[in-house]
């Protein structure tokens, strides 16, 4: 505390972290938490929280913003509209993807993304890397240097022709992760199975959006998860499987955990609240709005995902925000016209709704505890991606990224949201909570009615190594083949 006192005091808050809940005041100086207790000295500014819940600002560790796409497809959200939307939904840190182009360096992708984000981001941000061309130079020189420089996580694809790596390439990257301590995120689906099923469906004229789910049944995710786990076991390195959708993949992760493997997992709101039925019927092309990969599953898988959130199977809860417009020329239904499911851009918006959906349907519905909510949306993402304890918790010295929650019932509509997308798949749902206020480093960026932040307010965050697994587990006994 300075001689002038606190810059800001939150009075009478129910402060929730991943481990504890207490009723106290919270004092902030220079954008950081400096004191927690009862009856704190006055601040230059004060907010009477009046006994409402306060959680750490959310970390959306899987979102796509202003990512280059093959024309005419284009993401609707850039770093301004996407991070504005994040702030209004309680998220104060985002980690989108800097995607390497085949034949180009990873550094070129990072440079491009700094240009896209600089002066536009309204919340703090970092970058995951997407590795599409792990050349010997990338593996031996570029990737180790970038991990050291604060780009300590990277995504590997098992599917999509422009992105996918072979098993041998994945092993090469995992080997670098083991030696240098980075976190590998894996999109686990069997690409050949998907391509084979797609050809068969198209040959028989079955191209409506609902056949997107048929082309990607649970077994292709199950096989991909099993293979990714086996590759990580061979190298003896932790991995994080992203956007897990189905009960069969959940079973693979449980089996790996039972063997003592450091396999972490992420899921998203669409796998809790949508099903394959939302992709419509053969004659319904409005189902394009819910086309994402992996696709939404069935009610049984929903329950298994919820169980995994409750019992600790899942480490991270992200949005996988992929903001394509529904009817624009660059979106899912160009000019409002139907296209075959193979040509529908994969992904749905969700950066603003991620936390309110989980608070409403998880905490207030009694499916998960408030502390587990904090763990999934803030603390564990910070640990997984090298931001803890600066981000992800309420502790002395942590950034004053805060969400004050208002518990009220309302029906969600797209006009409530602040993204640049023309729809939300959750329109018409009854929610029971929304942020009454979001603070980024002690500054109010959402006051419950309007966005009060500004482009350029967000800072780039170089990151440390993941802290989910202790060093002894991450860099233990070297495999016999070394």
The secondary structure of 92-114 as a DSSP string is: EEE--EEEPPTTS-HHHHHHHHH
Burial (Cβ within 10 Å: 0-12, 13-18, ≥19) of residue 308: buried
Whether residue 481 is predicted with pLDDT greater than 80 in this model: the reply is no
Q: How far is CA 384 from the centre of its chain?
A: 12
- The token pair that represents 29 in the structure block: 């100086």
DSSP 405-433: EE---EE--GGG--SS-S--TTTTPEE--
Ranges of each domain in the chain? 6-55+392-446, 57-385
Residue 334: predicted pLDDT: 83
The strand pair at 53-56 and 430-431 is best described as unpaired
Strand partners, 22: 15
Q: State the pLDDT at residue 391.
A: 98
pLDDT score of 472 more than 90:
no
Question: pLDDT tens digits, residue range 180-236?
Answer: 999 999 999 999 999 999 999 999 999 999 999 999 999 999 999 999 999 999 999
DSSP string, 128-191: EEE-S---HHIIIIIHHHHHHTT--EEEEESS-TTTB--HHHHHHHHHHHHHH--EEEEE---H
pLDDT at 284 over 70: no
Give the mean pLDDT of 107-124: 98
- Is residue 205 helix, strand or coil? coil
Q: How many CA atoms lie within 13 A of 122 on its CB side?
A: 28
Q: What percent of the chain has pLDDT over 90?
A: 91
Pick the closest to residue 193 from 214, 207, 210 (CA basis). 214
HSE (side-chain half, CA atoms, 13 Å) at 309: 33
Per-residue pLDDT, 479: 64
- Which of 62, 173, 156, 152 lies closest to 387, judged by CA? 152
Give me the phi and psi of 101, to 5 degrees please: -90, 140
DSSP conformational letter for 346: P
Looking at domain 57-385, does it have CATH number 2.10.109.10? no
| Cα–Cα distance for residue pair 220/226, rounded to 1 Å | 10
- pTM, two decimals, is 0.96
Mapped onto helix, strand or coil, the DSSP state of residue 481 is: coil
CATH level 3 topology of 6-55+392-446: Urease, subunit C; domain 1 (2.30.40)
Query: What letter would DSSP give residue 312?
Result: T
Question: Does the structure show a pLDDT above 80 at 470?
Answer: no
Retrieve residue 190's tokens. Answer: 């069997």
Q: pLDDT for 196-212, tens place per residue?
A: 999 999 999 999 999 99
- Report the 10 Å Cβ neighbour count for 322: 24
* DSSP state, residue 47: E
């Amino acid at each position: 505390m300075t001689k002038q006192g606190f810059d800001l005091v939150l009075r009478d808050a129910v402060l929730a972290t991943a481990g504890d809940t207490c009723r106290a005041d919270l004092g902030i100086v220079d954008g950081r938490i400096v004191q927690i207790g009862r009856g704190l000295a006055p601040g230059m500014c004060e907010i009477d929280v009046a006994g409402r819940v306060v959680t750490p600002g959310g970390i959306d560790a899987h979102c796509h913003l202003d990512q280059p796409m093959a024309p005419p497809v284009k993401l609707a959200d850039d770093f301004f509209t996407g991070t504005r939307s994040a702030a209004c939904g309680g998220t104060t840190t985002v980690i989108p993807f800097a995607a390497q182009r085949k034949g180009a360096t990873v550094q070129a992708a990072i440079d491009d993304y700094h240009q896209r984000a600089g002066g536009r981001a309204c919340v703090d941000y970092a970058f995951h890397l997407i590795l599409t061309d792990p050349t010997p130079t990338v593996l031996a020189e570029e990737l180790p240097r970038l991990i050291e420089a604060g780009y300590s996580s990277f995504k590997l694809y098992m599917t999509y022709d422009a992105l996918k790596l072979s098993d041998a390439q994945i092993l090469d990257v995992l080997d670098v992760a083991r030696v240098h301590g980075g976190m590998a995120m894996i999109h686990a689906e069997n690409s050949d199975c998907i391509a084979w099923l797609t050809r068969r469906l198209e040959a028989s004229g079955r191209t409506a959006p609902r056949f997107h789910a048929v082309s990607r049944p649970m077994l292709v995710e199950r096989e991909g998860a099993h293979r990714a786990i086996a590759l990580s076991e061979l190298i003896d390195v932790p991995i994080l499987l992203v956007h897990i959708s189905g009960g069969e993949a959940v079973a693979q992760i449980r089996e790996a955990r039972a063997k003592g493997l450091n396999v972490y997992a992420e899921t998203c709101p669409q796998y809790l609240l949508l099903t394959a039925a939302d992709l419509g019927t053969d004659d319904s092309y409005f189902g394009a709005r819910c086309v994402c990969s992996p696709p939404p599953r069935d009610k049984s898988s929903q329950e298994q995902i919820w169980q995994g959130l409750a019992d600790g199977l899942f480490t991270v809860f992200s949005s996988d925000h992929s903001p394509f417009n529904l009817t624009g020329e660059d979106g899912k239904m160009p000019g409002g016209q139907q296209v075959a499911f193979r040509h529908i851009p994969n992904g749905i918006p969700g950066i603003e709704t991620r936390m309110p959906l989980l608070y409403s349907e998880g905490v207030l519905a009694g499916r998960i505890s408030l502390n587990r909510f904090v763990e999934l949306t803030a603390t564990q993402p910070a640990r997984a991606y090298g931001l803890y304890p600066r981000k992800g918790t309420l502790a002395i010295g942590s950034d004053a990224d805060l969400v004050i929650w208002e518990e009220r019932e309302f029906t969600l509509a797209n006009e409530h949201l602040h993204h640049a997308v023309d729809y939300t798949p959750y329109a018409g749902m009854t929610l029971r909570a929304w942020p009454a206020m979001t603070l980024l480093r002690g500054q109010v960026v959402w006051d419950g009615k309007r966005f009060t932040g500004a482009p350029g307010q967000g800072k780039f965050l170089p990151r440390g190594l993941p802290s989910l697994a202790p060093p002894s587990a991450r860099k233990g006994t070297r495999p016999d083949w070394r």
